[in-house]
Amino acid sequence: MKPAALKTQVSSGGVIFRRNRDIIEIAMISLKGGSVWCLPKGVIDKGESAEETALREVKEETGLKGRIIERLGKITYWYYLKEENVKYKKTVHFFLMEYESGDISNHDWEVDSVSWFPINEAIKKAIYKGEKEMMEKAKKRLTNSH
């Protein structure tokens, strides 16, 4: 087989939170039959800003509308797509968002389920290290300002 081609891909997503009394809750999506919990995100379309993508993808995947508080940072990972024989270097930007409206019952059919979790539980549930780090940042930001 030919050596894998190398491509880059850039996505954007959100750590969307709400306060339930004193507890900060984060919305997460589950994939692969519920075995993987992660943050909502998606590929940045042509002409779209990272902020616009994050708001759009959070809305599409979770059913929730948020407003951006600040940029949390970006994560990078590699994955291999067998069907294309392509190695992707992927960057994902993440934004802290405050929940405004909408309901998780309106989540995307491609997502197995959506749930609100207290932030400490969300950090534990997250399967990817980079996403855990984004939520740790969000936690710091949200607990220092109160």
Q: Does position 5 bind ligand ATP by CB under 6 A?
A: no
Is 90 among the residues that bind ligand ATP (CB under 6 A)? yes
Amino acid letter, residue 23: I
Strand stretches in the chain, DSSP E? 5-20, 23-31, 36-38, 41-43, 64-81, 86-102, 113-118
Of the candidate residues 4, 42, 52, 141, the single one contacting ligand ATP (CB under 6 A): 42
Nearest to 56 by CA among 94, 101, 17, 65: 65
Q: How far is the CB of 44 from ligand ATP (least distance, A)?
A: 9
CB of 131 vs ligand ATP, minimal distance in Å:
5
107 belongs to the binding site for ligand ATP (CB under 6 A): no
Angle of CA points 49, 141, 78, to nearest 5°: 50
Q: Which residues bind ligand ATP (CB under 6 A)?
A: 11, 41-43, 75, 77, 79, 90, 128, 130-131
